[in-house]
């Protein structure tokens, strides 16, 4: 079925339905997302610098199954016009992509700006705008310049300045056209997942100190980058900047674990949200005490969880224009039993809380082992966020489901439909102000250490074809219909 027929058929169906909870609020926006290292390729094109992911996969090619890596990926470095065309075919209001820091600043620092890197992103931004699609730009989606990693990366407090300088370069280059910004994607992965496991770039493993030091430094980096925009660029460009957290929804396994579940939410989401979005700033309730006790238990003389000075608290507090988050899945939590071992992150590790995360019983799991489907989690999370941080604007910056391939992706269609239903309930029944929804991902891409076998794309990418041909899946037609009719009452049959 072509795009025209798909949209026409669903238009007829939509016309017969009355407005209800299945219709999105006026002005609600839909997008799709990707990230630089996962799609671009061109890892050493012209003067691009080396990133930690380049180093990680080249140092030991067996880190990703089948020796896969992002050297070519979807070759979006060359295929950017097709990417824009796909965004237009879907009728996206915005396209969320990330910038490769090393493509723009080959040394990681602002002493040298790559003309080729600037040309690449100018083409992409201008091409999107020419089709009426808004660019939603993430400054950092995990591909740190290697020279900065050589100086200890996210555990060196000076990175806050270096990141802020990079942000200033980027706002200066693209701020006249880009109005929606994200500083950092999923800090919990950058700090907790990386250092707890050593399984992601830069491959450094240190679970008792590094995640917490990184947590605070990363928030400082975000805050400085936000303030630069707010003071120097917002008055002329009127854009908005935020950070994107990865939020897992956590339910208590039984009533007795209610407090534990709340603490898990604070540990998973609150550590990267409370310092920014709460009225009082600083770490979320309960967390500092837990970390202090853990440090003593592990033999340290004081807490390895860094405190904020009042000045630092004030610097970080309020550095948002909206609340962006990625949400995929949920867990039930209970206390660990004597001697029980803890699974590492992504979503298993709550060792600091002596908790065990369990998959929601009976839920469908996609290609990736963590991807349990639990649509109610989306609504409960949104309600919790509003209770925690107030009646602010919420942007869903990623939501999606992994398959092993094929164009008939009913499971992905159902996932988006059910999560969108729950989001609509949160908007209509609970009064949560959600303004954007983003599907992960526009196309199949390098799913980090899971390689190319785990597919999140609305478009299939043929990775055996040098042209990296992209083909729409059933879910692409479905999503295009939802967008065209601004409603979930659509069909593509
Ligand atoms: C996100 N979890 O990571 C990232 O932003 C993307 O780069 C990635 O490709 C996508 O989701 C799919 O994995 C996640 O444990 C990491 O629930 C962990 C989780 C979810 C998303």
**The predicted structure's pLDDT at residue 350:** 83
CA distance 424 to 417: 10
Q: Is 361 a catalytic residue?
A: no
Residue 453 φ/ψ, nearest 5 degrees: -75, -25
Residues 6+ apart with CB under 8 A from 237: 171, 175, 176, 179
Contact (Cβ atoms closer than 8 angstroms) between residue 363 and residue 373: yes
Give which of 107, 129, 101, 106 is closest to 225, Cα–Cα: 101
Q: Is residue 13 domain-resident?
A: no
Q: Is residue 1 domain-resident?
A: no
How many domains are there within the chain? 1
Task: Look at residue 335 and give its three-state secondary structure.
Answer: strand
**Active-site annotation holder among 68, 134, 186, 312:** 186
The full length of the chain comes to 493
**The predicted structure's pLDDT at residue 257:** 98
* 125 C-beta closer than 6 A to ligand 1: no
Give 477 Cα–ligand 1 centroid separation in angstroms.
24
Chain centre distance of CA 68? 22
**The predicted structure's pLDDT at residue 482:** 98
Q: Whose CA is nearest to atom 18 of ligand 1?
A: 346
**The predicted structure's pLDDT at residue 3:** 57
Q: Which domain holds residue 437?
A: 23-485
* 403 C-beta closer than 6 A to ligand 1: no
The closest-lying atom of ligand 1 relative to the alpha carbon of residue 248 is 17
| CATH code of the domain covering residue 41 | 3.20.20.80
**The predicted structure's pLDDT at residue 344:** 72
Residues 6+ apart with CB under 8 A from 56: 63, 200, 201, 202, 203
CA distance 455 to 441: 9
The closest-lying atom of ligand 1 relative to the alpha carbon of residue 329 is 17
Give 429 Cα–ligand 1 centroid separation in angstroms.
28
Report DSSP state, residue 255.
G
Give the DSSP H/E element, type plus range, for residue 388.
helix 376-389
Token pair in block for residue 41: 């390729």
Q: Whose CA is nearest to atom 4 of ligand 1?
A: 186
CA distance 243 to 167: 13
Tens of pLDDT, residue by residue, the chain (493 residues)? 565 455 544 544 444 444 468 999 999 999 999 999 999 999 999 999 999 999 999 999 999 999 999 999 999 999 999 999 999 999 999 999 999 999 999 999 999 999 999 999 999 999 999 999 999 999 999 999 999 999 999 999 999 999 999 999 999 999 999 999 999 999 999 999 999 999 999 999 999 999 999 999 999 999 999 999 999 999 999 999 999 999 999 999 999 999 999 999 999 999 999 999 999 999 998 999 999 999 999 999 999 999 999 999 999 999 999 999 999 999 999 999 998 988 876 676 688 999 999 999 999 999 999 999 999 999 999 999 999 999 999 999 999 999 999 999 999 999 999 999 999 999 999 999 999 999 999 999 999 999 999 999 999 999 999 999 999 999 999 999 999 999 999 976 5
**The predicted structure's pLDDT at residue 37:** 99
Contact (Cβ atoms closer than 8 angstroms) between residue 221 and residue 227: no
Q: Is residue 234 domain-resident?
A: yes
Q: Is 262 a catalytic residue?
A: no
Q: Is residue 14 domain-resident?
A: no
Give 396 Cα–ligand 1 centroid separation in angstroms.
13
* 397 C-beta closer than 6 A to ligand 1: no
* 415 C-beta closer than 6 A to ligand 1: no
DSSP assignment of 128-147 equals HHHTT-EEEEEEESS--BHH
Q: Is residue 16 domain-resident?
A: no
**The predicted structure's pLDDT at residue 76:** 99
- Strands 394-398 vs 180-185: parallel, antiparallel or unpaired: unpaired
CA distance 486 to 1: 21
Q: Whose CA is nearest to atom 15 of ligand 1?
A: 346
Q: Is residue 293 domain-resident?
A: yes
What is the best residue among 440, 455, 457 to mutate for testing ligand 1's pocket, by most ligand atoms within 8 Å of CB?
440
Q: Is residue 4 domain-resident?
A: no
CA distance 154 to 216: 10
Task: Look at residue 170 and give its three-state secondary structure.
Answer: helix
Q: Is residue 124 domain-resident?
A: yes
**The predicted structure's pLDDT at residue 341:** 87
Q: Whose CA is nearest to atom 8 of ligand 1?
A: 447
Residue 448 φ/ψ, nearest 5 degrees: 50, -130
Hunting for tokens 């900065």 — which residue is that? 148
């Amino acid at each position: 079925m072509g795009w025209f027929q798909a949209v026409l058929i669903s238009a007829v169906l939509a016309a017969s339905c009355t407005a209800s909870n299945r219709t999105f609020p006026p002005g609600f926006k839909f997008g799709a997302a990707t990230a630089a290292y996962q799609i671009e390729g061109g890892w050493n094109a012209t003067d691009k610098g080396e990133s930690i992911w380049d180093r990680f996969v080249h140092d030991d090619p067996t880190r990703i199954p089948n020796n896969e890596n992002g050297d070519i990926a979807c070759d979006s470095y060359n295929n950017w016009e097709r990417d824009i065309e796909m965004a237009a075919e879907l009728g996206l209001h915005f396209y969320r992509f990330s910038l490769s820091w090393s493509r723009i600043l080959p040394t990681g620092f602002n002493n040298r700006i790559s003309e080729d890197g600037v040309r690449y992103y100018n083409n992409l931004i201008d091409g999107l705008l020419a089709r009426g699609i808004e660019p939603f730009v993430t400054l950092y989606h995990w591909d740190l310049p290697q020279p900065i990693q050589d100086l200890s990366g996210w555990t060196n407090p000076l990175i806050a300045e270096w990141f802020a300088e990079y942000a200033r370069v980027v706002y200066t280059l693209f701020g006249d056209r880009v109005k929606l910004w994200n500083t950092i994607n999923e800090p919990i992965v950058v700090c907790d997942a990386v250092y707890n496991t050593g399984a992601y770039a830069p491959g450094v493993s240190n679970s008792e100190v590094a995640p917490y030091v990184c947590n605070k430094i990363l928030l400082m980096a975000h805050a400085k980058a936000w303030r630069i925009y707010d003071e120097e660029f917002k008055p002329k460009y009127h854009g908005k900047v935020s950070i994107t957290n990865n939020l897992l929804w956590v339910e208590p396994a039984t009533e007795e674990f209610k407090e534990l579940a709340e603490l898990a939410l604070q540990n998973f989401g609150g550590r990267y949200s409370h310092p920014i979005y709460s009225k009082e700033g600083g770490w979320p309730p309960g967390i500092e005490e837990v970390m202090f006790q853990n440090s003593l238990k592990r033999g340290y003389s004081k807490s390895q969880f860094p405190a904020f000075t009042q000045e630092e608290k004030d610097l970080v507090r309020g550095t948002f224009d909206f609340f962006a988050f990625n949400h995929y899945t949920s867990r039930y939590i209970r206390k660990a039993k004597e001697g029980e071992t803890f699974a590492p992150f992504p979503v298993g590790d709550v060792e600091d809380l002596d908790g065990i995360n369990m998959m929601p019983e009976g839920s469908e799991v996609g290609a990736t082992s963590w991807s349990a489907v639990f649509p109610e989690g989306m609504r409960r999370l949104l309600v919790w966020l509003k209770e925690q941080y107030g009646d602010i604007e919420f942007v869903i910056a990623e939501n999606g489901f992994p398959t092993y391939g094929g164009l008939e992706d009913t499971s992905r269609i159902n996932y988006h439909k059910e999560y969108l239903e729950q989001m609509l309930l949160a908007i209509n029944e609970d009064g949560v102000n959600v303004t954007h929804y983003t599907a992960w991902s526009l196309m199949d891409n390098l799913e980090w250490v899971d390689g190319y076998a785990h597919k999140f794309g609305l478009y299939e990418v043929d990775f055996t074809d040098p042209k990296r041909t992209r083909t729409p899946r059933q879910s692409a037609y479905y999503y295009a219909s939802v967008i065209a009719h601004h409603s979930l009452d659509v069909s593509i049959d």
